[in-house]
């Protein structure tokens, strides 16, 4: 095998992190995107701006605030203490929380676009046919926006795989817990183990490219069929 | 029209702004030097006014890689003399490798009284997170690992370790309260900012290899007179007294503690 056990462990951890984050964001991001797509409140601009923040914020800003907030002296730290669980930095779930923030716009924005593209009409028709709002969402909106869900999930997953700065700041580089693939590569480079760094970096490059290629091919294929 | 002119002038300023300095040098320094080097640079600037000295602090291993790949540093202070030695061997140094200090590691905490502790106390179940620098590439992390191995604690404590990217981040993990205790550089622990809360325990240096630190002038800095002056300044009485105050043992001296 060309990859060491440590490398495989880092890759598996990365995939697990990205999977968990994508699942959580599907649950949280969908209602937010729905609300953003349909609300006419002045509040909408504010929420939209907050959702987009991680796109422009340096990871060091996010990492710094999360480290302080989730530490034993921060508000989130107080909460976790009250719940009787350990503080979040240097844990897998700490990375999950950080990544949920960090990847939030990658889930919400494609979904919001998809919901907006459906428009009000199909929902009004569903309503006149006697469907409740929830029923209309699951039997009309959801199937119509499956492409948006696909795009959002893939982008969220891939973006979480590509995370580095935030993880470096709050992860503590623990093997099997917070040492994800990007950090493992960084460690190889720092330790001058270029051949190992090359192998993992090449895998990451190929993975990212293939994911995006699949997404774009699938999208253009869909567009042709429409 | 007016707007256009404003844009053009902004553009020109952004791309072609240069400060009028007599000379400008760039220093790469290991993270353990953070506080000591800041003071040394201030002192040097007073004696050589009008010059610009830029310093970047980080992990010695990273600087080594960066310089090897053409990073624009004129002089490189490493926490492990092995890195500059390797650069010299690769023909990338314009000076001999000069030892400038020997570092020490300490157990430091700002929530526990580390002055009354020894390494054995790390097994205390109340301590759940111990921060050390990454032994894979950070010199202080390597020495921490050696000391813990020599004390027979390394394997027992595995589950408690969190690894800082360099020694400054390791200290920051402790300072923010996310790790209760850490093994950091003495030169950081004596800084007033860190010393005002908690305290440190000096880890006996017989438990680990010496943290011999060295610097080189890089090829890039070879022809800059100011670099040479700064290298000489490191051996001056003033610079040496700053280094000693930060707990470094200097070449040609024996440890006082």
pLDDT computed for residue B257 by the predictor: 44
Contact residues on chain B for A71, CB-CB shorter than 8 A: 176-178
Q: In 10 A of CB B174, how many CB atoms?
A: 28
A94 vs A61, A71, A76, B111, B143, CA distance in Å? 16, 10, 11, 22, 29
pLDDT mean across residues, chain B: 90
Task: Please return the burial class of B161, using the count of CB atoms within 10 Å of its CB with bins 0-12, 13-18 and 19+.
Answer: buried
- Is-contact A42 A77, C-beta < 8 A? no
Q: How many residues does chain B have?
A: 257
Using an 8 Å CB-CB cutoff, list chain B residues near A91: none
Mutation site for A-interface testing, chosen from B59, B165, B180 by largest number of A Cβ within 10 Å: B165
Cα–Cα dist B19/B42, whole Å = 19
Shortest alpha-carbon distance between residue A171 and chain B (Å): 8
Query: How many CB pairs lie under 8 A apart between chains A and B?
Result: 55
The residues in A 178-217 lying below 8 A from B, measured between CB atoms, are 187, 189-192
**Nearest Cα residue to B179 out of B95, B108, B90:** B108
Instruction: Quote the ipTM score.
Output: 0.73
HSE-up of B79 (CA within 13 Å, CB side)? Answer: 34
Q: How confident is the model at residue B69 (pLDDT cuts 50, 70, 90)?
A: confident
- Backbone Cα Rg of chain A: 20
**Which residues on adjacent β-strands are paired with residue B183?**
B107
The predicted-structure confidence for A90-133, as pLDDT tens digits, reads as follows 899 999 999 999 999 999 999 999 999 998 888 888 888 888 88
| pLDDT tens readout for residues A60-98 | 999 999 998 998 889 999 998 888 888 899 899 999 999
Chain B contact set for A69 (CB, 8 A): none
Domains contained in chain B, CATH given: 20-102+211-245 (3.40.190.10), 105-202 (3.40.190.10)
Q: Are strands B98-103 and B52-58 parallel, antiparallel or unpaired?
A: unpaired
Count other Cβ atoms within 10 Å, centred on residue A119. Answer: 11
Which residues in chain B have their CB less than 8 angstroms from residue A174's CB? Answer: 161-163
Question: Which has the higher per-residue pLDDT, A125 or B11?
Answer: A125
**Which residues lie below 8 Å from residue B96, measured CB to CB, with a gap of 6+?**
B88, B216
* Closest among A110, A109, A86, A90 to A98, alpha carbons compared: A90
Q: Which residues contact B80 (CB under 8 A, 6 or more apart)?
A: B60, B139, B142, B211, B212, B213
Give the model confidence (pLDDT) of A18-45 as tens digits: 999 999 999 999 999 999 999 989 899 9
The distance of A182 to chain B (nearest Cα, Å) reads 13
Q: Which chain A residues are within 8 Å of B165, Cβ to Cβ?
A: 168, 173
Residue B231 near residue B215, CB atoms below 8 Å: yes
Contacts of B176 in chain A (CB under 8 A): 67-68, 71, 73
Higher-confidence residue: A43 or B198?
A43
Report the pLDDT value the prediction gives residue B68, as an integer from 0 to 100. Answer: 87
Interface of B with A in 34-73 (CB under 8 A): 59, 61-62, 64-65
Q: Which domains does chain A have, with CATH numbers?
A: 9-183 (1.10.3720.10)
Q: Are A203 and A37 in contact (CB under 8 A)?
A: no
Give the distance from residue A198's alpha carbon to the nearest chain B alpha carbon, in angstroms. 15
Distance from the A77 Cα atom to the nearest Cα atom in chain B, whole angstroms: 9
Is B62 in Cβ contact with A191 (below 8 Å)? no
Helix axis angle, A92-118 to A43-56, nearest 10°:
130
Q: Which of B73, B182, B198, B77 minimizes the C-alpha distance to B128?
A: B182
Is the pLDDT higher at B254 or at A103?
A103
3 state DSSP class of B208: coil
List of E strands, chain B: 24-30, 52-58, 75-78, 98-103, 105-109, 130-133, 161-164, 181-185, 199-202, 211-217
> What is the nearest CA distance from B93 to chain A, expressed in angstroms?
18
Q: Which of A89, A173, A192 sits opposite B65 (nearest CB)?
A: A192
pLDDT, position B137? 85
**Tokens in use for B149?**
């191995």
Q: Which helix (H) or strand (E) holds B237?
A: helix B237-245
d(CA B137, nearest CA chain A) in Å: 5
Chain B interface includes A67 (CB < 8 A): yes
Nearest CA in chain B to A86: B128
Cβ–Cβ contact B162 with A under 8 A: yes
Stretch A199-226: mean pLDDT, rounded? 86
> How far is the C-alpha of B102 from the C-alpha of B107, rounded, in Å?
17
pLDDT digits (tens, 9 = 90+) for A137-178: 888 888 999 999 999 999 999 999 999 999 988 988 888 889
Residue A138: phi and psi, rounded to 5, are -75, -35
Please tell me the distance in Å from A119's CA to the nearest CA on chain B: 40
- Residue B179 sits at the chain A interface (C-beta within 8 Å): yes
| Interhelix angle A92-118/A59-70, nearest 10 degrees | 120
- Which residues in chain A touch residue B171, judged by CB atoms under 8 angstroms apart? none
Write out the H or E segment, with its range, that includes residue A95.
Answer: helix A92-118
């Amino acid at each position: 095998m060309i990859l060491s056990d440590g490398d495989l462990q880092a890759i598996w951890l990365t995939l697990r992190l990205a999977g968990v984050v994508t699942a959580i964001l599907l649950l949280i991001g969908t209602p937010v995107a729905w609300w953003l797509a349909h609300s006419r409140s002045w509040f909408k601009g504010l929420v939209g701006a907050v959702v987009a923040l991680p796109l422009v914020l340096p990871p060091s800003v996010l990492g710094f605030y999360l480290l302080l907030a989730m530490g034993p002296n921060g508000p989130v730290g107080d909460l976790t203490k009250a719940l009787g669980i350990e503080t979040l930095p240097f844990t897998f779930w700490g990375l999950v929380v950080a990544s949920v923030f960090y990847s939030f716009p990658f889930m919400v924005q494609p979904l919001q676009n998809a919901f907006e593209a459906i428009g009000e009409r199909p929902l009004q028709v569903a309503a006149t046919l006697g469907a409740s709002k929830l029923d209309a969402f699951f039997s009309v909106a959801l199937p119509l926006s499956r492409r948006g869900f696909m795009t959002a999930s893939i982008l969220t997953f891939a973006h979480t795989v590509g995370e580095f700065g935030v993880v470096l700041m709050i992860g503590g580089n623990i093997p099997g817990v917070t040492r994800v693939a990007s950090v493992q590569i960084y460690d190889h480079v720092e330790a001058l183990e270029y051949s190992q760094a090359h192998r993992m970096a090449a895998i990451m490059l190929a993975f990212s490219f293939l994911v995006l290629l699949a997404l774009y091919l699938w999208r253009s294929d869909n567009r042709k069929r429409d | 029209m007016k707007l256009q002119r404003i844009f053009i002038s902004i553009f020109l300023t952004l791309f072609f702004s240069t400060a009028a300095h007599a000379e400008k040098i760039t220093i790469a320094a290991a993270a353990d030097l953070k506080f000591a080097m800041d003071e040394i640079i201030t002192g040097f600037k007073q004696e050589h006014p009008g010059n610009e000295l830029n310093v970047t602090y980080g992990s010695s291993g990273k600087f080594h890689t960066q310089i090897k790949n053409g990073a624009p540093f004129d002089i490189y202070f490493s926490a492990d003399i092995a890195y500059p030695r390797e650069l010299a061997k690769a023909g990338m140094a314009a000076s001999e490798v000069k030892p400038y200090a020997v570092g020490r590691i300490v157990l430091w905490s700002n929530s526990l009284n580390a002055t009354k502790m020894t390494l054995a106390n790390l097994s205390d179940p109340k301590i759940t997170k111990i921060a050390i620098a990454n032994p894979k590439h950070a010199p202080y992390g390597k020495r921490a690992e050696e000391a813990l191995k020599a004390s027979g604690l390394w394997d027992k404590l595995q589950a408690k370790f969190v690894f800082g990217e360099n020694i400054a981040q390791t200290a920051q993990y402790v300072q923010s309260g996310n790790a209760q205790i850490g093994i950091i550089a003495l030169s950081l622990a004596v800084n007033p900012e860190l010393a005002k809360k908690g305290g440190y325990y000096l880890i006996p240096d017989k438990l680990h290899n010496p943290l011999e630190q060295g610097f080189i002038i890089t090829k890039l800095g070879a022809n800059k007179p100011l670099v040479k002056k700064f290298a000489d300044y490191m051996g001056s009485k003033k610079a040496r007294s700053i280094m000693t105050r930060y707990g470094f043992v200097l070449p040609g001296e024996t440890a006082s503690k």
